[in-house]
Amino acid sequence: MLAFSLLVSLSFSLGHLIANQIAPAALMTLRFALASLVMIGVVRVFGVAIAPVFARFWRFLLIGGCMAVYFITMFEALRLTTAVSTATMFTLSPLLAAGFGYLLLSQRTSLATFTALSIGALGAVWVIFRADLGALLRFEIGRGEAIFAIGAVAHGAVPVLSRKLLGDVTPLQAALGTTVGALIVSGAYGFSDLVAVPFQSLPAQVWLVLLYLAVVTTAVTFFLVQYASKRLPGSKVMAYTYLVPSWVVMWDLAFNGARPAPAILLGIGCTIVALIMLLRDEEFG
C-alpha cells in the first residue's frame, strides 16, 4: 500500500497535463480497456486460470463498478469545484472503509486505529490546504463535493468488498476481474464521449499519460489493493491514501523545485505518525 500511494500520487501530476485534452469519461474507458488487455497478458504469462474470473462475475462488476464510479465522479467533480475540495473529500475513504468493515465483516476498529486514522485525516487535510487556515475555513460543500462524496463512498467500499467476496481467487485474478468490471461500467457511461474523441489528432502526451494510467495506476495498483485487502482490514488499506498529498508535494519538489512551506511539514509528519501507529497496531486475518 505504500507503493500504491506513491504510484497513485504521480498520476495526479501527470493527469493534470492532459485534463483539457480529452473528455474524462472517454479517458477512463480507454484507461480500463488498455489495463484489461495488460492484465490478460499478465495472467497468461504467469499461467493463471482466467475461467474463475467469469464465475460469479457480478462480484467483479460490483467492485470494478465502485472503482469506475470513484474515477468518474472525481473527474466530473473537478469540472464543478477545485482540486483542493475534491482531494479533501478523498480523505474520507479510510474512515468510510472502517465503517464498511464493521458493517460487512464485523471488523472492529480499535481506539488506537481510530486515533491513527483521525490523525492521518487531519494531516492530509493540512497538506491539501497547504497549511492555510483561511483556505480551510472557506471550504464549502457544493454540487461538486456532493458528487465526489458518492465516489469516496464507493472507493471506501472496495477493500472490504474484495475481502468479503473474492476470497476464492488470487490477487491477479481479482485484479483482472475488477479491471474488466470497471471497463464495462465506465464504457457504458462514457460511450458517447469515446466515439467523439479525435484519436488521429491526440498529442503524444495524452497517449503516454494514458499508458501510465492504464498500466501503473490501474493494472498495478488494482493488484496491490487486492493483495493488501486479503491481509489487512479495509480501514488500514485505505489509510495509506493519506500519504498521497504528501507524495504530491514531493513530486512538485522533484519536478518543479517547489519547496513546501515549513508549516506543511507538520501535516506530512501527522500522516507519517498515523501510519506508524497503524503498523504498531496491525491486525491480520
Give residue 87's pLDDT: 67
- How high is the mean pLDDT of the chain? 81
| Encoded amino acid at 35, one letter | A
Confidence of residue 284 (pLDDT cuts 50, 70, 90): very low
Q: Is residue 7 included in any domain, yes or no?
A: yes
Q: pLDDT category, 188, cuts 50, 70, 90?
A: very high
177 — pLDDT class (breaks 50, 70, 90): very high
Contacts of 264 (CB under 8 A, 6+ apart): 126, 127, 130, 131, 249
What's the pLDDT score for residue 214? 86
pLDDT value at 211 more than 60: yes
The pLDDT of 182-196, averaged and rounded, is 92
pLDDT at position 285, please? 39
pLDDT tens readout for residues 126-146: 777 767 777 777 766 667 777
pLDDT of residue 190: 87
Residue 192 CA to residue 198 CA, distance in Å, equals: 13
Where is pLDDT greater, at 104 or 172?
Answer: 172
Angle between helices 58-78 and 143-165 (to 10 degrees): 160
Average pLDDT score over residue span 195-201 = 89
Domain total in the chain: 1
For residue 285, is it within any domain? no
Per-residue pLDDT of 236-253, as tens digits, reads: 777 777 777 778 777 777
Q: DSSP letter string over 198-209? A: -GGG--HHHHHH
117: which residues sit within 8 A by CB, 6+ positions away?
A: 94, 95, 98, 109, 235, 239, 274, 278
Alpha carbon of residue 266 to chain centroid: 24
Give residue 87's domain range: 2-280
Residue whose C-alpha is closest to residue 61's, from 185, 166, 245, 206: 185
Give the cell for residue 81.
469545484
Q: Which residues contact 12 (CB under 8 A, 6 or more apart)?
A: 244, 248
**At residue 258, what is the residue type?**
A
DSSP conformation class of 241: G
Above 50 in pLDDT, residue 149?
A: yes
Q: What is the DSSP string of 255-282?
A: HH--PPPHHHHHHHHHHHHHHHHHHHT-
